[in-house]
Structure 1
Amino acid sequence: MSKSGTICAGMGGWTFEPWDTSFYPDKLSKAKQLHYASRQVPSIEVNGTYYSSFKEPTFVKWANEAPDGFVYALKGNRFVTNRRVLGEAGESVERFLGSGLVALGDKLGPIVWQFAPTKKFDPDDFEAFLKLLPERQEGVALRHAVEVRNDSFIVPEFAALARKYRVAIVYADHAKYPDIADATGDFIYARLQTGSDDNPDCYTPGALDQWAERANIWAGGKVPADLRRADPTTEAPVKPRDVFIYFISEGKVRAPFGAMALMRRVSN
């Protein structure tokens, strides 16, 4: 068995006007941007699926555009997570998962369910939501992650629920949102959101070195000792985990370069 999981670093999306001149080659048509971007980084987080509905032909197109080994992380649709009672989201979950995304095949990475900062932790209702997340869709294995943005989730009970349903907790490097590093699933998902356009590689060289070290620790099966956990008394099993890290929001102009710089630093 491999002693380390695969580390994939990427950015959010591939369409962003400043990238037309900062990232993409001169005169590259927008129709060819995905083809180019998917050959510079091993993964991209798709934010569009949070706001809009897509159909199977679109996922087929994305799969065909990207090279072997590339993976897309998809944001779960907002109609699932932006509701008062999460346990009533079953129909919306089924509609999203049945929209054709399994056409991505082995290029389907984690599905990220993102919650608003106003959404507080309700153990019963959050468990009702986790019960709605299937392990497979039309024979394709699914990997789920949850990004919570309220400090009420920084409790052992939240980590215990995520472990019970083998769902990853997104680690958010953010100025305001909670940072929770418990390893609760079979993979790690981190969103780096404190970069700057003033840094050529989004984050400073020192910060990138630190994140590369953390990524290697995660991939090797452990949790970096310097990151906060919701349940510091429970140790996750030490086993190789794939690691997905995305440069998002702050420093977005330089996000692709941050992902490429991190990939040059990691062991795989």
Structure 2
Amino acid sequence: MAEKRVGTSGWLYPPWRGTFYPKGLVRRRELEYLSRRVNTVEINGSFYSLQRPERYRGWFEQTPEDFVFAVKGGRFITHLKRLRDCEVPLANFFASGVLALGEKLGPMLWQLPPRLEFDPDRLTEFFGLLPRNTKEAAKLARRHDGKLKGEPHTEAGRNRPVRHALEVRHPSFDTDECRKLLRDNGIALVVADSAGTWPQLEAVTSDLMYVRLHGDEELYASGYPKSALKKWAAKVEHWAGKQHQDVFVYFDNDIKVKAPGDAMTLAELVGTGPEGVR
């Protein structure tokens, strides 16, 4: 059966404390608390800087056995290098501890900057560097340089697939050529709802549908009313049911503490999530 997972993008947000998180809950237990209410979360600290293996191990230990993490690729790769000459930066990224998530490692997210236009040669070169399983990821990780913050983690563990999703923000990606390139490389095209800020593309380009919900009417801030969540639930059921796609949905409307509640409601609507909170 197709997998359906719903969660939030990140979990370390001061406004959530005392609202979603109970008053007095220590910061180190916030992921533990969230992971008992949703069945996945998107790690976004990895976008801003290389993490350490001990952090990934800690996140693994704090979450239930059937929990899954998506990992957001580093902005050094997507925004500074702009996908060019990325072999060593990719090696550093995978050596920073990503593989320490083991069985809980889910899809990798690569978010492009809004001004980066569709360039098939650039994308083809980048896609060719991406590891497609943990064995390939470990091999790539061993090519790291000295820029890591801690000891590298380059062990593959049990060999498992590594899937990738691309979030685009420039209208030039809305072409048949782009969709074909993604399909040929097995890369998911992220469905991004951004209150009209960036294009919302919904093409099926791999066996994964990766959805990011940034805000219904106001970017990063507004919540989704029940009527909107029902529409998204219908999309999830269609992708997972009729098209047999694994569907991962992440709410990124965190500013006004809407993300966790919206995630829990959508999870209930599609019949997924941890036991006891469905």
TM-score range for the pair, normalised by the shorter chain length: 0.7 to 0.9
1:151 pairs with 2:171: yes
1:105 pairs with 2:102: yes
The counterpart of 2:199, out of the listed 175, 178, 181, is 178
Q: Which has the larger displacement, 131-140 or 30-39?
A: 131-140
State the distance in 2 between where 1:252 and 1:23 align: 11
Shift of 1:83: 3.9
Letter in 2 for 1:82: H
State the distance in 2 between where 1:73 and 1:210 align: 23
What is the match of residue 121 of structure 1? 118
Shift of 1:260: 0.1
What is the match of residue 142 of structure 1? 162
What is the match of residue 53 of structure 1? 50
What is the match of residue 185 of structure 2? 165
Q: Deviation digits for residues 23-66 of structure 1, max 9, x if unmatched?
A: 01221111211110111111111110001111211111110000
In structure 1, the gaps of 5 or more residues are: 223-239
In structure 2, the gaps of 5 or more residues are: 138-155, 273-278
Cα 1:194–1:85 change in 2 (3 A) is closer
Q: Deviation digits for residues 200-246 of structure 1, max 9, x if unmatched?
A: x9211100111111101111243xxxxxxxxxxxxxxxxx2211111
Shift of 1:250: 6.4
1:258 pairs with 2:247: no
- 8 A contact 2:3–2:247 mirrored in 1: yes
**1:1-268 → structure 2 map (5 Å cutoff):** 2=1, 5-83=2-80, 86-136=83-133, 137=137, 138=156, 139-174=159-194, 175-195=196-216, 202-222=223-243, 240-249=244-253, 252-268=256-272
State the distance in 2 between where 1:59 and 1:159 align: 33
State the distance in 2 between where 1:203 and 1:83 align: 33
Q: TM-score, normalised by structure 1?
A: 0.87
Q: Deviation digits for residues 188-210 of structure 1, max 9, x if unmatched?
A: 1001112369xxx9211100111
Q: Provide the aligned C-alpha RMSD in A.
A: 1.7
Q: Which has the larger displacement, 250-259 or 28-37?
A: 250-259
What is the match of residue 226 of structure 1? none
Equivalent pairs, count: 245
State the distance in 1 between where 2:160 and 2:3 align: 20
